[in-house]
């Protein structure tokens, strides 16, 4: 009896992990036509179909485990190259700068990611992300085992890359088109939420007779935010304008506080919109606490900060990046959408690095100010997400029709 129960538990876990093997460096997936039995003679045996599905799930789970272990081995090899490069730098700095203390030396070396290529660094970042997801899954299985199957069912993004779900083979839209459509919808919902919060008093706030002034200030702030967004959208060079408009909150004469770094004061509607744009719509977002949403956004921003710093510090030539790498980099930053060519993506990526890394670093070096990189990257993602939604090539065709304007009624 115990052996039978154990077997079915293993089978259930394999089915839950059912997903395609997507390597850390993903390649475009093309849908393969599947023959459909139209005469009804085959595929009628439910038991055979069930065991076939379980067999495929077990094979994919085993293969995914092997791939994750292989990815871990490659990450170790890449980190060995990084370690050797840091050791060479340490010897050079010990000879040239003899005044450095061991602590200062360790701090400087910890920020060095050289000695490897851009592809290898991206592989390391993805490996770190997959390991984090794996640890979260283990914690969830241990801490909330009854909740775990529902998490896999409604939120498959928690799975590491090698266990990612199969792509949609319906042929209705590509992955890039799906992202464009979902992000356009997120933009529209966020705009509507900003207008609602600026004009309508929440039902619970009406019951608080002592908080009318505070509620009025919040509504005025949301109205000001909405008008600022509208002004940025109709003004050429919107990215630079957005950074200039937020200059007072991005730069500070003193150190950036933890609350500022954690984006605590960002309006909830903006947090919800960015979260939906990053992760796509899912059932958990409606009741997920705000601090968890901010945590996921910050994890994404930290990944972008690491890659941006590598591109700048190592002097990576953007012209050397392949189309796949450009698509990946721009998609992570909410830049553009379907139909972009390589030159457009490189230009947008250069503007991102200039506005979010190069100019702030230069100003901080000259003035001694501090810069809130997390808030800046969040603002830039929001700006490019809105720009992508307004692009004529956006995959959301109904919203495009709305933007075209209305013909004269007769």
Of 84-93, 98-107, 336-345, 398-407, the least confident: 398-407
- Ramachandran quadrant class, 35 (left: phi over 0; alpha: psi -120 to 50; beta: rest): beta
Q: What's the whole-number mean pLDDT along residues 25-43?
A: 41
Q: Which of 163, 191, 213 delimits the end of a domain?
A: 163
Of these ranges, 154-158, 213-217, 288-292, 297-301, the one predicted with the greatest mean pLDDT is 297-301
Q: Which two structure tokens, joined as six digits, stand for 177?
A: 């088109």
Q: How confident is the model at residue 27, as a pLDDT?
A: 38
Higher-pLDDT residue of 381 and 17 is 381
106 and 201 co-located in one domain: no
Of the candidates 58, 44, 46, 49, which has an alpha carbon nearest to the alpha carbon of residue 8?
Answer: 58
Whether the per-residue pLDDT at 36 is higher than 60: the answer is: no
Same domain, 89 and 141: yes
List the domain range (segments joined by +) for residue 103: 48-163
Structure confidence at residue 410 (pLDDT)? 55
Residues 235 and 373 grouped into a single domain:
yes
CA–CA gap between residue 159 and residue 136 (Å, rounded): 9
> Is there a domain that residue 100 lies in?
yes
The span from the CA of 171 to the CA of 317, in Å, is 35
Residue 321: strand, helix, or coil? coil
Residue 278 and residue 354 share a domain: yes
Specify the pLDDT at position 25.
37
Residue that finishes a domain, picked among 129, 163, 197: 163
pTM comes to 0.81
Is 158:133 a contact under the CB 8 Å cutoff? yes
Same domain, 318 and 359: yes
Tokens 């839950």 locate to 16
Q: Which of 53-67, 193-207, 365-379, 396-410 has the lowest mean pLDDT?
A: 396-410
Taking the mean position of all CA atoms in its chain, how far away is CA 279? Answer: 6
DSSP state of 371: E
254 and 228 belong to one structural domain: yes
356 inside domain: yes
Q: What is the pLDDT of residues 230-256, one digit of tens each?
A: 888 877 777 888 899 899 999 999 999
Same domain, 143 and 210: no
What integer is the mean pLDDT of 60-83? Answer: 91
| Residue range 21-26: mean pLDDT, rounded | 38
Give pLDDT tens digits for 102-150.
Answer: 888 888 888 888 889 999 999 999 999 999 888 888 888 888 888 888 8
Q: Is residue 183 part of a domain?
A: yes
Highest mean pLDDT among 70-79, 172-181, 286-295: 70-79
Q: Are 324 and 118 in contact (CB under 8 A)?
A: no
Domain count, the chain: 2
- Is the CB of residue 345 less than 8 Å from the CB of residue 326? yes
Q: Is 228 in the same domain as 366?
A: yes
User: What per-residue confidence (pLDDT) applies to 23?
Assistant: 37
Is the same domain home to 150 and 278? no
Categorize the per-residue pLDDT at 334 as very low, low, confident or very high, splitting at 50, 70 and 90. Answer: very high
| CA dist., res. 195 & res. 225, Å (int) | 10
Q: Do residues 309 and 192 both lie within one domain?
A: yes
Does 317 map to a domain?
A: yes
In a domain, 379, yes or no: yes
Residue 13 domain-assigned? no
Confidence at 205, pLDDT banded by 50, 70, 90: confident
Specify the range with the lowest mean pLDDT, choosing from 141-150, 191-200, 350-359: 141-150
Band of residue 369 on the pLDDT scale cut at 50, 70, 90: very high
pLDDT of 14 above 80? no
pLDDT band (50, 70, 90) for residue 393: confident
Tell me: do 361 and 222 sit in the same domain.
Answer: yes
CB atoms under 10 Å from CB of 28, counted, come to: 11
- Residue at which a domain ends, from 113, 128, 163: 163
Residue 278 inside a domain? The answer is yes
Closest CA to 70 of 145, 161, 204: 161
- Asked if 223 and 319 sit in the same domain, the reply is yes
306 within a domain of the structure (yes/no): yes
pLDDT of residue 371: 96
Predicted pLDDT of residue 390: 87
pLDDT more than 90, % of the chain: 41
């Amino acid at each position: 009896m115990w052996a039978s129960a154990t077997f079915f538990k293993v089978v259930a876990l394999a089915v839950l992990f059912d997903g395609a093997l997507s390597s850390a460096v993903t390649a475009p997936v093309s849908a393969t036509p599947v023959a459909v039995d139209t005469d009804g003679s085959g595929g009628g045996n439910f038991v055979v179909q069930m065991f076939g599905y379980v067999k495929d799930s077990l094979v994919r789970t085993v293969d995914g485990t092997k791939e994750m272990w292989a990815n871990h081995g490659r990450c170790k090899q890449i980190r060995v190259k990084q370690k050797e490069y840091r050791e060479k730098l340490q010897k050079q700095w010990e000879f040239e700068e003899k005044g450095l203390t061991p602590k200062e030396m360790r701090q400087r070396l910890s920020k060095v990611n050289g000695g490897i290529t851009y592809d290898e660094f991206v592989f390391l970042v993805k490996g770190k992300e997959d390991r984090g997801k794996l640890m979260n899954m283990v914690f969830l299985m241990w801490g909330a085992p009854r909740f775990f199957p529902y998490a896999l069912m409604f939120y498959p993004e928690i799975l590491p890359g090698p266990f990612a779900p199969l792509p949609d083979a319906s042929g209705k839209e590509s992955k890039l088109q799906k992202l464009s459509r979902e992000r356009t919808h997120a933009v529209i919902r966020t705009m509507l939420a900003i207008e609602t919060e600026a004009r309508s008093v929440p039902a619970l706030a009406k019951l608080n007779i002592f908080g009318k002034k505070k509620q009025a200030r919040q509504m005025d702030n949301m109205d000001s935010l909405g008008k600022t967004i509208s002004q940025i959208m109709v003004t050429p060079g919107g990215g630079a304008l957005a950074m200039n408009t937020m200059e007072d909150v991005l730069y500070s004469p003193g150190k950036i506080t933890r609350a500022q770094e954690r984006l605590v004061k960002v309006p909830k509607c903006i947090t919800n919109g960015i979260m939906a744009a990053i992760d796509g719509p899912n059932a958990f977002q409606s009741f997920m606490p705000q601090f968890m949403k901010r945590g996921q956004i910050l994890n994404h921003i930290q990944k972008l900060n690491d890659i941006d710093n590598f591109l700048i510090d190592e002097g990576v030539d953007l012209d050397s990046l392949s189309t796949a790498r450009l698509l990946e980099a721009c998609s992570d930053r909410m830049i553009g959408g379907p139909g972009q060519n390589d030159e457009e993506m490189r230009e947008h990526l250069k503007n991102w690095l200039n506005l979010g890394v190069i100019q702030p670093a230069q100003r901080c070096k000259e003035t001694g100010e501090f810069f809130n990189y997390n808030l800046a990257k969040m603002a830039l993602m929001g700006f490019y997400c809105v720009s992508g939604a307004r692009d004529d090539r956006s995959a959301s065709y109904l919203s495009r029709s709305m933007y075209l304007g209305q013909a004269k009624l007769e």
